[in-house]
Amino acid sequence: MIATKKKLPFHIGMRTVKTALAVGLSLLTGYAIKSEYPPFLAIGALGAMESSITASFKGARDLTVGNLVGALLAMGFSLVFSGHMAIGCALGVIIMIVVCNMLHMRASTTSLACVVFCCCLTDLLATGNLFYGLLRFRDTVVGTAIALAVNMLIRPYSGAAHTKDSIIKAQKAMLPLLEQRVLRGRIPDLRDLRASINELDRNVSVLLDERMNKSLKKSEVAHLRGCQQLLWKMRDALIGICCIDTMPSPSPENLARIEALGLTRENVKTECILDGACAPEDTVVLNYYLKVFLDSNEYLTMLLEL
């Protein structure tokens, strides 16, 4: 009896591990420098830990600017709203969101900057120390620096191999869908395919934006980009085929190419494939999209073998 490995119901990736490590190191550093509020270092680490080194630098830059604005705004509001903390926080959050949106910051970075502002304002009113906000800004900067160091030194992101595997899986997943539509006369559900390709697109975008990781070759990223575009052509052709609401028959040439891929029409009545009320234009459109799909599949297979 062959033992099978059980999959965990959750996944702990390298980014999760590095985030936890960065937060832990930030808190230890906060205690070492005798920070009054070490969690501010953790906020900086959380905001700067991204999927790639380049994205981490962008996140650290945005978070630093956002936290500086929040600290300075809290210093000003502490003088105006000394007896009305709730009103000051509410108005300040509005200003923070507007400023962060004008600077095109992400929603998560904006939220962290608002948290820093609210914490600084409430603590400023409690302690009376006008420079408290700048000290907390210092803490977040230290946290972002620690997160950047962890992300750069510990297994920098290089998702080229994973992205290539995802392309191969998506390519293979399309063939049964083509078989269902063309050879079996069914309309397949493309939701899972769309979701997997959307995830793949995000991974490729991360690789295209990565400029700080020297281990990631530009030629490798360009190769994956070409594979991605061929996968798009296959997806678009498959969607075009599924949009035909009749059952035209494939040409002998296309049918032979389909069967060469191992796709069959066994146990399916011939009339379910070839019969049906369809205009001649439907057959032309079907075979056009079929040729695009099959050509792209062949080119993609050759490109993946390089």
- Give 65's pLDDT tier (boundaries 50, 70, 90): very high
In a domain, 179, yes or no: yes
Q: What does the pLDDT look like over 249-301, one tens digit per residue? A: 889 999 899 988 888 765 544 444 444 567 788 889 999 999 999 999 999 99
Q: What percent of the chain has pLDDT over 90?
A: 32
83 and 139 part of one domain: yes
Q: Averaged over 106-127, what is the pLDDT?
A: 86
In a domain, 137, yes or no: yes
Round to whole Å and give the CA distance between 187 and 15: 39
Q: Averaged over 64-77, what is the pLDDT?
A: 90
139 and 245 part of one domain: no
53 and 135 part of one domain: yes
Round to whole Å and give the CA distance between 230 and 115: 44
67 and 188 part of one domain: no
CB-based burial label for 80 (10 Å; 0-12, 13-18, 19+): exposed
In a domain, 208, yes or no: yes
In a domain, 2, yes or no: no
Q: Which of 84, 118, 153 is the last residue of a domain?
A: 153
What is the tally of structural domains in the chain?
Answer: 2
Lowest mean pLDDT among 24-33, 58-67, 206-215: 206-215
In a domain, 5, yes or no: no
Highest mean pLDDT among 56-60, 141-145, 204-208: 141-145
Q: Which of 135, 153, 171 is the last residue of a domain?
A: 153
176 and 299 part of one domain: yes
228 and 246 part of one domain: yes
Q: Averaged over 118-122, what is the pLDDT?
A: 88
128 and 231 part of one domain: no
Q: What is the pTM of this model?
A: 0.68
35 and 123 part of one domain: yes
| 3-class SS shares of the chain: helix, strand, coil, % to 5 | 75, 0, 25
* Predicted local distance difference test score (pLDDT) of residue 268: 47
| Angle of CA points 212, 213, 219, to nearest 5° | 110
- Residue 247: give its domain's CATH number: 1.20.120
Q: Averaged over 62-79, what is the pLDDT?
A: 89
In a domain, 266, yes or no: yes
Round to whole Å and give the CA distance between 202 and 198: 6
Q: What does the pLDDT look like over 219-235, one tens digit per residue? A: 888 888 899 999 999 99
Q: What does the pLDDT look like over 145-189, one tens digit per residue? A: 999 999 888 877 667 888 888 899 999 999 999 998 888 888 888
* Predicted local distance difference test score (pLDDT) of residue 267: 55
CB-based burial label for 128 (10 Å; 0-12, 13-18, 19+): exposed
Domain encompassing residue 271 = 160-304
74 and 97 part of one domain: yes
124 and 249 part of one domain: no
180 and 146 part of one domain: no
Q: Which of 133, 153, 173 is the last residue of a domain?
A: 153
199 and 141 part of one domain: no
In a domain, 282, yes or no: yes
In a domain, 1, yes or no: no
**Residue 118 corresponds to which tokens in the numbers above?**
């609210």
Indicate the DSSP class of residue 118: H
Whether the CB-CB separation of 53 and 157 falls below 8 Å is answered with yes
